[in-house]
Homo-oligomer: A and B are copies of this chain.
């Protein structure tokens, strides 16, 4: 069995930001030498997500607006009594999940036609990490 573990660090300029990490995953997959297996991509922070969807700027705007509608900023969350201000970012993380698994088949990430992997930052402007864990043969 082969294992390959890699961490990516982000420090976004904006408070919320959506970053296409598909090519970084393809690089990690190539480094692993795995021909058949699974590639886990998981946010290590609880105010960010990893999701699979389209690399279309309009859609990314829709996703951001929709997340803000269902889990809005600026509400008097109980969590803010600790001094934090990011209650909404925790809920956004739960709403679209913090991890995905991409199968590896014949040495490549086995994506459908439009699948791209995104890191979604909901409380940025500081260093945050994701872990990529590849396991296979």
- The size bracket of the interface on A is 35 or more
CB within 8 Å of B: which of A39-78?
40, 42-46, 51-54, 56-59, 61-63, 66, 70-71, 77-78
Most buried by B among A51, A82, A103, A105: A103
Instruction: Chain B residues near A43: list those with CB within 8 A.
Output: 112
| Chain copies in complex | 3
Query: Are the CB atoms of B101 and A44 closer together than 8 Å?
Result: no
A110 to B93, CA, bound (A): 18
Binding site for B on A (CB under 8 A): 1, 3, 5, 36-38, 40, 42-46, 51-54, 56-59, 61-63, 66, 70-71, 77-82, 87, 90-91, 93-101, 103, 105, 110-115, 129, 131, 133, 135-137
